[in-house]
Copies of this chain bind each other. A is one copy, B any other.
Amino acid sequence: MQQYSKFDQFLMEKYPLKEEYLNDPDRPVIYELLHVEKHTGARLGRIYTRHGIVHTPMFMPVGTQASVKNVSPRDLEAINTQFILSNTYHLWVRPGDDLIAKAGGLHKFMQWNGPILTDSGGFQVWSLAKNNKISEEGVDFKNHVDGASMFLSPEVAMRIQNNLGSDVMMQLDEAIPYFETYDYVKNSVERTTRWAKRAKIAHARPNDQALFGIIQGAGFKDLRRLSAEGLVDLDLPGYAVGGLSVGESKEEMNRVLDFTVDWMPADKPRYLMGVAAPDSLIDSAIRGIDMFDCVLPTRIARNGSLMTKNGRIVITNGRYKDDFSLIDADTEDYGSQNFTKAYLHHLFKANELLGQNIASVHNLRYLLKLMEEMREAIYNDELIEFREQVLEDYGYNKPNARLF
């Protein structure tokens, strides 16, 4: 089961759980606002799900193929993982959503008993699959595993996710490049809203699983508003901001969040997809975001990059060959507290896969701890000071720093 940090335990005592939220038969996901940071408006909150309670803002490790790469569910629990994400497209292609339904759902299949969010599959259809062709009905494509022709529509995305049984499902949207023409984006936004309506109608288990809408609109303020208003009309249990962190600058992302979040309901969770950089996590929380996910921590771990309080460490670098200090004394995962940098360096140099496990768990714990500390900073109305300290320590203020 999920484990809570000391501060999260304190929050549980300070703000007792609401009985009516715990047992609401109709709403599988309920957001509770606990505190608004005085200087920024950042939200300290709580999400009730059928698989546990999580505090926000929070970060979700990504388990693409029903496994967070190189990390076991037991490892996830040990570092206080609250929520994970898994990818609809990958599970649909292999092993198939029917098989996972037969297994009793994704939680049971992968033995993760905390909440799970699944994406719609749309992003991978654009980034991984071949020959994709979009129409009002959906997307035709050939999958990246065996090249078979497949068709993804709002209804298919729901059927798959209903089979997976995730706590939060995402509507199918179109993943578009950031810099598209106004007309293209406008058409795409309008279609995404129509797809959201179809998704809501197709949703077979609304009392068990919460469908989130995805606000698109690239950098166009009026289109973000159009998107948000169309989706909010559908009264979905949560909303995501999509189409960010796809190559635009951080300033641009913050600019879009600044106005987009204002149109998102305050009584529902707000999710920013695909973000894990420490500065972006803090800056987005400042703008009112509650949920994040990204493959970054586990992906860079597999190449030996560690995220630490004091910035990036590339453990394969020769300087660590005889560095007998702990991997990261500030981070409480098993590996960081037990092995030296020299040992982890050796594991990577010798292609011993234990190294990938140690580095992956480490990076996840770094981010989960950052979020725990962020929640505490929000509670204490010290988020600006927290931001300055984290960025200074991590090296954001150094010229030419390679951060990841």
Contacts and interface: CB of A to CB of B under 8 A. Distances in A.
Contacts of A71: 354
Q: Please state the number of chain copies in the assembly.
A: 2
Nearest to A65: B350
A354 B321 contact: no
Interface in A329-379: 334-335, 338-340, 342-343, 345-347, 349-350, 352-354, 356-358
Given A338-B111, A342-B109, A343-B66, A321 B95 contact: yes
A287 B324 CA distance: 45
A324 B354 contact: no
Contacts of A352: 65-67, 69
Interface in A224-243: none
A72 B354 CA distance: 7
Contacts of A335: 72
B94 A343 contact: no
Contacts of A111: 338-339, 343
Nearest to A350: B65
24 contacts: A65-B350, A66-B346, A67-B350, A67-B352, A70-B353, A70-B354, A72-B334, A72-B358, A90-B350, A94-B346, A94-B350, A95-B342, A99-B321, A99-B322, A102-B322, A103-B340, A103-B343, A109-B340, A109-B342, A111-B338, A111-B339, A111-B343, A353-B357, A357-B357
Given A69-B352, A95-B350, A353-B356, 18 more contacts: A66-B352, A67-B350, A69-B354, A70-B353, A70-B357, A72-B335, A72-B354, A72-B358, A74-B334, A94-B350, A99-B321, A102-B322, A103-B324, A103-B343, A104-B324, A111-B338, A111-B343, A353-B357
